[in-house]
Amino acid sequence: MTIKTAKLGVISSGRGENLRYILQAERDGWLPGRVVLVLADQPDAGALRIAGEFSVPHQFLDPGGQTRQEYDRQLVDRLEEADADLVVLTGYMRILSPEFVRHYKNRILNIHPALLPSFRGLDAFSQALEYGAKWTGTTVHVVDEDVDHGPIVYQRPVPVREGDTHDSLKARIQRAEYKAYPRAIKMFIEGNPRIEGRRVVWKRDERRAEG
């Protein structure tokens, strides 16, 4: 994928605060991409409100009464109409169908509140606390057909402090996410990587190997 200025299609279910920081990085001229569409599966998703604040086209798509495949075809149709190059998930709580993942193969990014492969799935904050982990963090990865599994683009570690609660750890990881996601998207656009199995191979690494 060769992209100079990427068109980003964002899909969300919740608060959308990661979207705010992505849009701010775009507006500041730091991110070589432009959010062209925001879609949500919840009518009250914060991402829709934030998209409105930034005058970005946005739409609620009701998943009710549809199979996962039927709903994902709607998503693809909207994203194709917007000519999106890269799909960015921000707190999207539905599992994408294999058909969707194949359509945008190696062009879907997601963020997870843990250092994958540790603490996959729901409530990674509680998982880290229950396990007694000393470090956790956040991971931006390429989406494949398994949950929280695709090749890792970028990770940002966060210490687990003595006396941390679910809420205190969650707040600290979320602050790390606000920095990590725009950085990872920028890396992915500018780095024009190739996916080899579980590895993200960057052009700079190829040049070093050739040298």
Catalytic residue among 58, 112, 141, 166: 112
Over residues 72-87, the pLDDT tens digits come to: 999 999 999 999 999 9
CA gap 31, 121 in Å, rounded? 29
Percent of the chain with pLDDT over 70: 94
Q: Which CATH architecture has domain 6-193?
A: 3-Layer(aba) Sandwich (3.40)
Whether 112 is catalytic is yes
Give the per-residue pLDDT at 147.
Answer: 87
Over residues 23-54, the pLDDT tens digits come to: 999 999 999 999 999 999 999 999 999 999 99
**pTM for this model (two decimals):** 0.93
Confidence band of 211 (pLDDT split at 50, 70, 90): very low
